[in-house]
């Protein structure tokens, strides 16, 4: 268990914009930061981070919360995992009891797999550095590749012994269950019950998530055994999905965001050698074909990708297939090829930093130029091949979502290929129309499927409208409490009095109090309770917090709520930030008025609205109790009293309302 004082220290120290900035490319927007949603595939920013409030809100998916909530949503951490991650990031020493064998058994399955993977990484790394076999074979190999001791440590490189079950024995001896050793793919259990290590006699490359958790491994064999695969990866598991992972992303994420560009290479050693050379914004698809999920992972940090290819022509042609995928995700892509016979690893190893940076800058070509230069040699004077090349290039252009970019690339392609722009535009329009048609068919199929679902018709339309109005008002009260509950405001109270002649007149008194006190006392006066169960619980939590603390610090308050209440509170609290995403004041010249300027009036209006609506409902309920056979005097008196109050409230806001009931 982590002590409460340690948790408090973590919350006081952690900055939500710094934590999220490790995963999402954030840009300043007024007092806030905005970026692309890491939870949905979008092309315009709907993700907002508030440094002042220390919370975030994703308007595309509806998710939100504090720094811990982000880690739990994005990295699927448990609460203790998120706290430990933040403690490590900010160098905070946690007070906690040592994890026992019983605690380890109670951990959920994924966490158990993470623990096994982290243990394996440490075991392989220690074997590389300290075991005779590891130093003689594995460490020597890495040194021959030109990797320094610091680089080996940074990437957690390791070595797995040649023995059949050296790792499995060690894991079982340390108390890790065979079930999880097998589920992570580190141990293979044979039909006869014997268990052997998956990786034997291989140098090991740990594959980490964006947050640094070990997901799986890549192992390279060092012998010339033709029966064994040169590279062997961990199998798919609950924590490792190779199509959603990029090798090196953990070490590269900050450099990618800072440089606003990502270099994409093919292999593990390419990534490591580039990092060692000082080009840290480099990742790899780990030998697998590039996938949309991997591209989206990069898009959280930058919109720019530079693909680095080996110098051999065959490899180039095979690799350019991923370019269309990158374009389709709305990314900007450039391509850089190395001299014939060179790859990123070998070239970076022998090239000084300044020369390497200059080479990448001078040789990175736009994808149109690259495709043309690569394939034009094949086409030469063959009209059929040239036509095929042009169609290939136009197909790539059609994948670009942005119309202006498509237009520019069409013009560039026409210039390079010496062909009419009108012809290219016509071909492009046909391709786009085909895509639109296919998308339309897919949408119709989905709509047809949706119409087959049962419709809930147990709520009448009129009644649903009343519920929506009431819930809207309750939500507004919660918003006022969260935004302004602790501020002091001047409120006017208007009382009905009678002079010495019995004539009615209004008497106004001004009171200064905190907004939460005003709301609490007014709702208590009429014994009003919220009708929405979620809002009811949230209202009670907020009022209780104010009654104890007098103020509300949003990130601390959220920490004490259930996940459901935390989500709802964040949704309400960050609702106003939606406008700053669109830069209303800057671009549209529409000023967004600060409610705090009129918080008293804003509060009074919504309290009266809520009281008025709920009193109407109460009157209706009382009328339903009237019976011809019973003495209804008390009910009728109550109805009359409530009607008087309703009329008073109507006069108080200086307008009459249509009756909802």
Q: For residue 23, is it within any domain?
A: yes
Higher local confidence (pLDDT), 28 or 283: 283
**Are both 73 and 155 inside the same structural domain?**
no
- Predicted local distance difference test score (pLDDT) of residue 68: 87
* Segment 487-519, tens digit of pLDDT: 887 776 666 666 666 666 666 777 788 888 777
The predicted structure's pLDDT at residue 652: 55
d(C-alpha 79, C-alpha 68), whole Å: 7
Tell me the range of 35-39, 357-361, 494-498 where mean pLDDT is highest. 357-361
pLDDT higher than 60, residue 355: yes
Q: Are residues 297 and 260 in the same domain?
A: yes
Query: Rounded CA gap, 90 and 9, in Å?
Result: 10
In this model, does residue 230 exceed pLDDT 60? yes
Q: Same domain, yes or no, for 484 and 625?
A: yes
Across the range 158-172, mean pLDDT stands at: 95
* pLDDT classification of 397: cutoffs 50, 70, 90: confident
Output the CA–CA distances (angstroms, integers) from residue 73 to 102, 126, 249, 409, in the order listed: 27, 33, 19, 38
Q: In this predicted structure, which of 99-108, 224-233, 381-390 has the lowest mean pLDDT? A: 99-108
Residue 584: its pLDDT value, please?
46
Please give the average per-residue pLDDT across 183-204, as a whole number. Answer: 93
* pLDDT at residue 9, rounded to an integer: 87
State the Cα–Cα distance between residues 505 and 193, nearest whole angstrom. 93
CATH of residue 428: 1.20.50
Confidence (pLDDT) at 541: 87
Domain of residue 196, CATH code? 3.90.980.10
Q: Are residues 122 and 229 in the same domain?
A: yes
Note whether residue 661 is domain-resident: no
Lowest mean pLDDT among 20-34, 145-159, 335-349, 613-627: 613-627
| Half-sphere exposure of residue 572: CA atoms within 13 angstroms, side-chain side | 27
Beta strands 304-309; 262-265: pairing state: parallel
Strand-pairing partners, residue 220, are 203, 231
Give the chain's domain count: 5
Q: Are residues 235 and 249 in the same domain?
A: no
Q: Could you say which of 363, 397, 428 is where a domain stops? A: 363
Q: Please report whether residue 447 resides in a domain.
A: no
455 occurs within a structural domain: no
Distance CA 85, CA 333 (A): 33
| Rounded-to-integer distance, Cα 180 and Cα 114, Å | 9
Q: Which burial class, exposed, middle or buried, applies to 258 when counting CB atoms under 10 A from its CB (0-12, 13-18, 19+)?
A: middle
Mean pLDDT throughout 227-248?
90
Asked if 281 and 262 touch (Cβ cutoff 8 Å), the reply is: yes
pLDDT for the residue numbered 318: 56
- Examine residue 98 and state whether it is found in any structural domain, yes or no: no
In angstroms, the Cα distances linking 215 to 83, 113, 205, 238, 299 are: 19, 9, 11, 9, 21
pLDDT band at 454 (very low <50, low <70, confident <90, very high): very low
Is residue 134 pLDDT above 80, yes or no? Answer: yes
What is the side-by-side strand order in the sheet with 55-58?
27-29, 32-35, 47-50, 55-58, 64-65
Whether residue 213 lies inside any domain: the answer is yes
69 within 8 A of 566, measured Cβ to Cβ: yes
Structural domain for 430, as ranges: 366-436
Q: Read off the pLDDT of each residue in 161-178 and give the average, rounded to a whole number.
A: 94
Q: Do both 418 and 476 map to the same domain?
A: no
Domain end, chosen from 210, 240, 270, is at: 240
- How much is the pLDDT for 226? 74
Mean pLDDT score of the chain, rounded to an integer?
A: 80
Whether residue 569 is found in the same domain as residue 648? yes
Query: Cα separations (Å) of 582 from 24, 47, 314, 579?
Result: 19, 11, 46, 6
Q: What are 528's two structure tokens? A: 């009003």
pLDDT of residue 657: 38
Cα(335)–Cα(371) distance, integer angstroms: 9
Q: What is the pTM of this model?
A: 0.63
Q: What does the pLDDT read at residue 464? A: 46
Question: Which pLDDT score is estimated for 622?
Answer: 72
Q: How far is CA 368 from the centre of its chain?
A: 32
Q: Are residues 517 and 623 in the same domain?
A: yes
Average pLDDT over residues 101-107: 55
pLDDT of 15: 92
Torsion of CA 284, 285, 287, 291, to 10 degrees: -160
Contact 32, 20 (CB under 8 A): no
Both structure tokens of 471: 């819930």
Q: What is the predicted pLDDT for the residue at 272? A: 97
User: Does 290 lie in the same domain as 157?
Assistant: no
In 3-state terms, the chain is what percent helix, strand and coil (to 5)? 55, 15, 30
CA atoms within 13 A on the CB side of 75: 32
In this structure, the answer to whether residues 202 and 315 fall within a common structural domain is no
Question: For the ranges 35-49, 390-404, 439-453, which has the lowest average pLDDT?
Answer: 439-453
The pLDDT assigned to 529 comes to: 74
How would residue 543 be classed by pLDDT, with cut points 50, 70 and 90?
confident
Closest to 365 measured CA to CA, from 400, 338, 401, 334: 334
- Helix 515-525 to helix 599-624 angle (10° resolution) is 10
pLDDT value, residue 235: 94
Is 192 contained in some domain? yes
At residue 342's C-alpha, the angle toward residues 341 and 343, to 5°, is 130
Contact residues for 519 (Cβ-Cβ < 8 A; gap 6+): 477, 480, 481, 485, 543, 603, 607
Beta bridge partners, 35, equal: 47
Do 617 and 565 fall within a single domain? yes
Dist. CA 266–CA 218, nearest whole Å: 13
Question: The domain that contains 11 carries what CATH number?
Answer: 3.90.580.10
Q: Return the sign of the alpha-carbon dihedral for residues 595, 596, 602, 606.
A: positive
Looking at per-residue pLDDT, the higher value among 96 and 427 belongs to 427
Cα–Cα distance measured from residue 450 to residue 574, given in angstroms and rounded to the nearest whole number: 31
Sign of the Cα pseudo-torsion (249, 252, 258, 261, in order): negative
| pLDDT tops 70 at residue 467 | no
Which three-class secondary structure state does DSSP give residue 488? Answer: strand
SS3 category, 406:
helix
For residue 34, report the phi and psi dihedrals to the nearest 5 degrees: -135, 160
pLDDT of 317 reads 60
> 197 has which bridge partners?
187
Q: Is 104 contained in some domain?
A: no
Which range is least confidently modeled, 12-26, 170-184, 515-529?
515-529
Do 17 and 140 share a domain, yes or no?
no
Cβ–Cβ under 8 Å, residues 515 and 485? yes
State how far the Cα of 128 lies from the Cα of 138, in Å rounded to an integer.
6
């Amino acid at each position: 268990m982590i002590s409460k004082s340690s948790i408090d220290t973590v919350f006081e120290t952690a900055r939500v914009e710094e934590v999220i900035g490790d995963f999402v490319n954030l840009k300043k927007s007024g007092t806030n930061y905005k970026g692309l949603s890491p939870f949905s595939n979008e092309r315009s920013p709907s993700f907002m981070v508030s440094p002042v409030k220390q919370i975030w809100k994703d308007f595309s998916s509806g998710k939100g919360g504090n720094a811990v909530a982000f880690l739990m949503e994005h990295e699927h951490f448990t609460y203790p995992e998120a706290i430990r991650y933040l403690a490590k990031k900010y160098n905070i020493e946690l007070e906690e009891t040592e994890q026992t064998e019983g605690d380890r058994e109670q951990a959920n399955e994924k966490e158990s797999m993470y623990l096994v993977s982290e243990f394996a990484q440490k075991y392989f790394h220690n074997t590389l550095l300290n075991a005779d076999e590891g130093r003689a074979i594995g460490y020597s190999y890495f040194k021959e590749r030109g990797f320094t001791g610091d680089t080996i440590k940074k990437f957690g490189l390791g070595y797995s012994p040649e023995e059949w079950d050296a790792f499995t024995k060690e894991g079982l001896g340390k108390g890790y269950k065979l079930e999880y050793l097998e589920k992570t793919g580190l141990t293979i259990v044979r039909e006869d019950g014997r268990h052997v290590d998956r990786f034997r006699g291989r140098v090991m490359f740990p594959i980490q998530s964006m947050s640094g958790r070990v997901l799986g491994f890549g192992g390279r064999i060092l012998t010339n055994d033709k029966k064994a695969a040169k590279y062997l990866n961990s199998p798919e598991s609950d924590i490792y999905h190779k199509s959603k992972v990029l090798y090196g992303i953990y070490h590269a994420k900050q450099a990618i965001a800072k440089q606003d560009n990502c270099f994409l290479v093919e292999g593990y050693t390419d990534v490591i050698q580039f990092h060692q050379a000082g080009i840290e914004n480099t990742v790899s698809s780990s030998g697998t074909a590039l996938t949309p999920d991997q591209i989206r992972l990069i898009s959280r940090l930058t919109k720019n990708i530079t693909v680095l290819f080996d110098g051999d022509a065959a490899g180039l042609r095979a690799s350019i297939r991923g370019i269309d995928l990158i374009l389709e995700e709305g990314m900007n892509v450039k391509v850089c090829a190395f001299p014939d016979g060179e790859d990123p690893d070998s070239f970076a190893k022998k090239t000084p930093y300044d020369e390497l940076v200059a080479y990448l800058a001078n040789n990175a070509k736009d994808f149109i130029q690259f495709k043309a230069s690569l394939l034009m040699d094949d086409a030469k004077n063959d009209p059929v091949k040239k036509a095929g090349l042009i169609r290939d290039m136009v197909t790539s252009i059609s994948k670009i979502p942005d119309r202006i970019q498509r237009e520019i690339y069409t013009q560039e392609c026409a210039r390079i290929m010496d062909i009419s722009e009108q012809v290219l535009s016509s071909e492009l329009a046909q391709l786009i129309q085909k895509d639109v048609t296919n998308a339309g068919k897919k949408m119709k199929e989905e709509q047809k499927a949706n119409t087959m679902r049962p419709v809930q018709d147990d709520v009448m339309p009129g009644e649903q409208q009343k519920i929506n109005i009431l819930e809207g008002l309750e939500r507004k009260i919660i918003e006022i409490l969260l935004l302004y509950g602790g501020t002091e405001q001047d409120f006017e109270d208007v009382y009905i009095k009678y002079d010495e002649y019995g004539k009615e007149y209004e008497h106004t008194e001004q009171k200064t109090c905190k907004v939460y006190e005003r709301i609490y006392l007014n709702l208590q006066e009429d014994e009003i309770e919220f009708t929405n169960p979620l809002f009811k619980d949230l209202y009670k939590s907020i009022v209780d917090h104010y009654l104890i603390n007098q103020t509300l610090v949003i990130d601390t308050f959220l920490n004490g709520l259930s996940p459901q209440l935390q989500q709802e509170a964040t949704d309400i609290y960050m609702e106003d930030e939606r406008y700053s995403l669109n830069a209303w004041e800057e671009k549209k010249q529409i000023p967004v008025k600060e409610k705090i300027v009129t918080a008293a009036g804003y509060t009074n209006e919504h309290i009266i609205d809520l009281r008025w609506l709920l009193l109407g409902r109460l009157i209706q309920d009382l009328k339903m109790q009237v019976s011809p056979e019973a003495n209804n005097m008390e009910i009728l008196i109550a109805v009359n009293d409530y009607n008087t109050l309703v009329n008073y409230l109507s006069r108080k806001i200086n307008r009459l309302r249509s009756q909802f009931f």
